[in-house]
Copies of this chain bind each other. A is one copy, B any other.
Amino acid sequence: MMKDFECTQESYTKEVLREKGLKSTTQRLAVVHILHMSEKSLSIGEIHGGVKDMLGNTGLATIYRTLEMFEDLGIVKRLHFPDGGHGYAFSQGEHVHHMVCVDCRGVFDFSECPAENFDYASVEKQGFRVKDHFIQLFGQCGKCVEAA
Contacts and interface: CB of A to CB of B under 8 A. Distances in A.
Contacts of A80: 80, 134
Nearest to A129: B139
Contact of A141 (B101, B126, B139, B143): B126
Interface in A110-141: 110, 112, 114-116, 118, 120, 122-123, 125-141
Contacts of A108: 123, 125-126, 128
A99 interface: yes
A2 interface: no
B130 A137 contact: yes
A7 interface: no
A56 interface: no
Interface of A: 68, 78, 80, 84, 99, 101-102, 108, 110, 112, 114-116, 118, 120, 122-123, 125-143, 145-146
24 contacts: A78-B84, A80-B80, A99-B128, A102-B131, A108-B123, A110-B122, A112-B118, A112-B122, A114-B115, A115-B118, A115-B135, A116-B118, A127-B146, A128-B139, A129-B145, A130-B137, A130-B139, A131-B138, A133-B136, A133-B137, A133-B138, A134-B134, A134-B135, A134-B136
